Amino acid sequence: MRLSRGFTLTELMITVALIGTLAAIAIPEFFRYQARARRSEGFTHVAGIARAYKGYQAESGKYPDMQTESTFVTLPDLATPPGTKKVPWDNDTENFFKIVGWRPDGNVYYLYEVVSQGCGGGCNEATCFTITAHGNVDGNGSPGAVMFVHPMRDATGVPIVGASCSNFLGYGTPTAPGTGDPLYDEPAVYLLADPF
């Protein structure tokens, strides 16, 4: 006669420990993957706004500024951006971005702002701009930023260090990981804020 045996307590404890270990590794990675996927919206839209801005400048000879255009925009609270859920596009901001012919498709994870500045010394035409996407796509309560910085340049076309337009929250220029070199004319994460 055969005896029917079940699992021993030790075998069950080992199985539970293995499942717990795998979950402890997999779940945070899954959430980071989701945050990276949401952050890709910021890269796409910031690059699109930059192309629209450069196209506008090629036609009109200047970069428009959110603070000085006749369609003045009341910015939403950039320090508390949306989280892991998409929000409708803000009407005031949309009216501003119509000037350069840009609009996102559907709802967004980020709040977008652009700051343009002149070259100083009596020159009132904007010669630089900074586009910032403010978001909290990992839902941890700490805002992050994806930026595109087009700096002021000297007569030879070299970026003037420290002469980039600052955004409304005062973020500086994004830097390359490892080297710390400023990243100009490309979408980049502002690493001193939350990366998501």
Per the domain annotation, does 174 fall within a domain?
Answer: yes
pLDDT of residue 57: 87
Per the domain annotation, does 135 fall within a domain?
Answer: yes
As a whole number of angstroms, the distance between CA 166 and CA 151 comes to 10
Per the domain annotation, does 3 fall within a domain?
Answer: no
As a whole number of angstroms, the distance between CA 97 and CA 36 comes to 25
Q: Which residues pair with 131 in a beta bridge?
A: 114, 148
For residue range 6-43, list pLDDT tens digits in order. 788 899 999 999 999 999 999 999 999 999 999 999 99
As a whole number of angstroms, the distance between CA 106 and CA 11 comes to 51
Per the domain annotation, does 130 fall within a domain?
Answer: yes
For residue range 72-105, list pLDDT tens digits in order. 456 667 777 888 999 888 776 777 788 888 888 8
Average pLDDT score over the chain = 82
Q: Is the pLDDT of residue 120 over 50?
A: no
- What DSSP line would sit under the chain, residue for residue? -PPP----HHHHHHHHHHHHHHHHHHHHHHHHHHHHHHHHHHHHHHHHHHHHHHHHHHHHSS---TTTSSS------TTS---SS-BPPPHHHHHHHGGGT---SS-BSSEEEEEEEEEETTEEEEEEEEEEEEE-TT-SS--EEEEEEE--B-TTSPBPTT-SPP-TT-----B-TTT--B--SS-EE-TTSB--
Per the domain annotation, does 160 fall within a domain?
Answer: yes
Per the domain annotation, does 1 fall within a domain?
Answer: no
Whether residue 93 contacts residue 73, with contact meaning beta carbons closer than 8 Å, is answered with yes
Number of domains in the chain: 1
> Which residues span the domain enclosing 121?
9-189
pLDDT of residue 147: 92
Question: Which residue, chain included where needed, has tokens 């801005």?
Answer: 53
Confidence class for position 167, pLDDT limits 50, 70, 90: confident
**Which amino acid belongs to residue 86?**
K
For residue range 147-161, list pLDDT tens digits in order. 999 888 777 878 776
As a whole number of angstroms, the distance between CA 159 and CA 153 comes to 4
Percentage of residues in the chain with pLDDT exceeding 70? 82
pLDDT of residue 156: 82
Q: Is the pLDDT of residue 163 over 70?
A: no
**Which amino acid belongs to residue 118?**
G
Strands 111-120 and 188-189: unpaired
Q: Which of 134, 133, 129, 135 is nearest to 99 (CA)?
A: 129
